[in-house]
Amino acid sequence: MDSLKFRSLFAVLMALLMAFLMSAVLTAVNTGVDAGFVGRWLHAFLVAWPIAIVAAFFCAPIARRWTMRLLGITPPR
């Protein structure tokens, strides 16, 4: 599979999951869970998701390198 295609899809899906969960938790913590919660949550999610996609795309390789370094794994050549 094409590496760029894989990285792009991974970033979109990872960002979707993380932004969905984190926006829900932070919206609940900051504003409470009441009748307007879902609307506030979805708004926060729609703002966060594009930012999370870019962050996941560029930060995943860095996190992978740091993880390999911390675990003493030699990167493949």
**pLDDT at 75 (0 to 100):** 76
Task: Report the C-alpha gap between 44 and 58 in whole angstroms.
Answer: 22
Q: What is the pLDDT confidence band of residue 76, given thresholds at 50, 70 and 90?
A: confident
Tell me, yes or no, whether 76 lies in a domain: no
Tell me, yes or no, whether 17 lies in a domain: yes
CB 44 within 8 A of CB 15: no
Task: Report the C-alpha gap between 43 and 77 in whole angstroms.
Answer: 43
Percent of the chain at pLDDT > 90 equals: 81
Task: Report the C-alpha gap between 37 and 54 in whole angstroms.
Answer: 26
pLDDT reading at 77 higher than 90: no
Tell me, yes or no, whether 42 lies in a domain: yes
Q: Which of 63, 55, 66, 64 is nearest to 11 (CA)?
A: 55
What's the whole-number mean pLDDT along residues 14-32?
96
Determine the structural domain holding residue 48 and report its residue range. Answer: 3-71
Tell me, yes or no, whether 10 lies in a domain: yes
Q: State how many domains the chain has.
A: 1
Query: 75: which DSSP letter?
Result: P
